[in-house]
Amino acid sequence: MAIAPPRVLTVAGSDSGGGAGIQADLKTMLALGVHGMSVVCAVTAQNSLGVQGYWELPPEAVEAQLDSVLSDIGTQAVKTGMLASGALVEVVAARLARYPAPLVVDPVGVSKHGDRLLAEEAVDAVRHALLPVATVVTPNLWEVELLTGVKVESERDQRRAAEAVKEFGPEWVLVKGGHLSGSPVDLLYDGDEVHTYTAPRHDNRHTHGTGCTLASAIASRLALGDTVPEAVAAAKDYVTGALAAGFPLGSGIGPVDHGWRTRGR
């Protein structure tokens, strides 16, 4: 009888265009050799041009999905993405706080096209309910400013930003520097240790799904047994390849290529 691979659960929103959200998460998990499962929190109408609308699920539907998966199948890591509202953030945080698996939080606040995906009233719930139970939180520069008020304009500001996010209680903070000029540098911090990760910047506008993919890759590597610094390094390597192979889709911003390794790119 075959042995089941490690399991990873994504708790996020659906992207009808397939480039980000739960669709990107599950593709990433498959590419990295784990079994992906999903709890849908919101449904978006979304394509390469942007998000035309989104509809969140009732909290009881999200809680029922969580209970269904965790009570029977279980998981070795969890990744959260778009949670949409304060009520959903609190339901998810309360349930995951009782579950003994590493949690990677992608504090999704806005889409690649600038469309807001988190209600203003939900930001405080992310700060005080979700971040305290996170193993790793992976904010980009806009999300850092949303959560802490710290504006990152250079690599020197990343440590200060990580310290500000760390005050909310996550074990590790990964401040992503992809929106800075020059080579993208991500900074990982746990209150004592600092790790930096660099990668070449690729001249490719098709970057939809980058944040979802990175967080899912970190969760996948944690489920496979990596330490947090090892998981971030492996995830960064995977995402860099996916970014380099990103392809056009529709009339706007295309997705990263989750299957770049199998396509030989």
Catalytic option among 212, 236, 240, 246: 212
182 noted as active-site residue:
no
Which residue in 112, 166, 176, 236 is the catalytic one?
176
CA dist., res. 79 & res. 102, Å (int): 9
Task: Please pick, among 28, 44, 148, 207, the residue that the annotation labels catalytic.
Answer: 207
- Based on the residue annotation, tell me whether 207 is a catalytic residue of this protein: yes
**Amino acid identity, residue 154?**
S
* From 17, 211, 241, 246, active-site residue: 211
Q: List the catalytic residue out of 209, 241, 246, 254.
A: 209
CA distances from 171 to 161, 162, 238 (A): 15, 11, 23
151 is a catalytic site residue:
no
Determine the Cα–Cα distance for residues 69 and 195; give it in Å rounded to an integer.
Answer: 34
CA pair distance 13, 39, nearest whole angstrom = 8
Is 135 considered catalytic here?
A: no
Tell me if 20 sits within 8 A of 253, measured CB to CB: no
Look up 212 and say whether it is catalytic: yes
Q: Which of 80, 210, 213, 240 is catalytic?
A: 210
Residues carrying an active site annotation: 176, 207, 209-212
